[in-house]
């Protein structure tokens, strides 16, 4: 049994929800590195660092171009679309949070998974689960409609692109295992090509400063490599609607990390939000394959 098959066997033994849990944790560790960069690097420069460092890791780890040259043009178009979505999604996210409160951007981004989950919620039980999770996520994001109009434009663009990421991510994860990760790696290289004309200039000030350079690498690994790989492993075994509903855990995981790491105790409203999300996830039942 070769290395790829052994890796697939090991991954198949791990519950897919575990991979999503890991993704949710690192989804919020990445911004901790970005804090150091924001005071010295432009918003677009941070977006470039996130994608460039992730692309570099995938290039060394997976060498995805070997798979790309063997694909059909239809398969290549999916990867080109996903790479473009990854690039623009990250740009829109960072521009949005530079102009609008993060909680508001998170709430708007959460609308995308709600739509996808609604499209797959075809039983009264799952519709109820969706309503519970959506309500909990809304409470946890502590929505405040303040900020610049341009920020809202980028926030809604990020929401639409996030929906496309989930849809296209499931397309490349259909046969599971290492093949999906290879395709993800190639999509990240394509994303680097797309984002470089936009963000490379803003990243230049950090190129000669080792702490900033390491922070940029940390952003890419924590925000793009680990979460996106875990997403692929989860998407390969979860229906798209189920994965979209699980995204309701993201604001809940942020609150839990705040308790454990920052000793920030949740308010009564935040506690209620966690309970609603947990109730929605517990109530949801996956459709038969």
pLDDT at residue 28, as a whole number: 67
Going from N- to C-terminal start, the domains of the chain cover 17-283
Residue pair 257/28 in contact (Cβ under 8 Å)? The answer is: yes
Nearest to 59 by CA among 193, 223, 233: 193
- Entry field: residues in the chain: 289
Separation between Cα atoms, residue 198 and residue 195, nearest integer Å = 5
Predicted TM-score (pTM) of the model is 0.82
Structural tokens at position 137: 């996520």
**Residue 1: predicted pLDDT:** 47
Binned average pLDDT, 10 residues per bin, the chain of 289 residues? 55 76 78 74 92 95 91 93 96 86 72 73 75 76 70 90 91 77 95 96 89 88 91 84 72 65 68 74 58
């Amino acid at each position: 049994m070769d290395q790829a098959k052994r890796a697939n066997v090991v991954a198949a033994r791990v519950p897919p929800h575990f991979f999503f849990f890991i993704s949710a944790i690192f989804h919020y560790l990445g911004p901790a590195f970005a804090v150091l960069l924001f005071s010295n690097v432009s918003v677009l420069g941070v977006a470039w660092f996130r994608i460039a460092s992730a692309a570099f890791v995938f290039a060394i780890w997976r060498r995805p171009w070997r798979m790309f040259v063997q694909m059909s043009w239809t398969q290549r178009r999916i990867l080109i679309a996903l790479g473009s979505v990854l690039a623009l999604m990250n740009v829109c996210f960072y521009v949005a949070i530079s102009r609008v409160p993060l909680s508001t951007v998170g709430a708007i981004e959460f609308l995308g998974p709600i739509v996808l989950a609604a499209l797959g919620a075809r039983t009264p039980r799952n519709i109820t689960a969706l309503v519970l999770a959506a309500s909990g996520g809304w409470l946890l994001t502590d929505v405040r409609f303040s900020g610049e109009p341009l920020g809202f434009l980028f926030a809604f663009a990020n929401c639409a692109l996030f929906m496309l990421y989930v849809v296209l991510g499931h397309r490349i994860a259909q046969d599971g295992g290492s093949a999906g990760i290879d395709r993800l790696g190639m999509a990240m290289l394509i994303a680097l090509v797309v984002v470089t004309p936009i963000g490379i200039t803003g990243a230049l000030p950090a190129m000669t400063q080792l702490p900033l350079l390491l922070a940029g690498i940390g952003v890419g690994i924590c925000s793009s490599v680990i979460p996106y790989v875990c997403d692929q492993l989860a998407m390969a075994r979860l229906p798209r609607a189920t994965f979209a509903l699980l995204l309701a855990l993201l604001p809940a995981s942020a609150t839990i990390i705040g308790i454990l790491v920052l000793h920030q105790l949740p308010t009564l409203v935040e506690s209620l939000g966690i309970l609603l999300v947990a109730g929605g996830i517990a109530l949801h039942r996956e459709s038969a394959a």
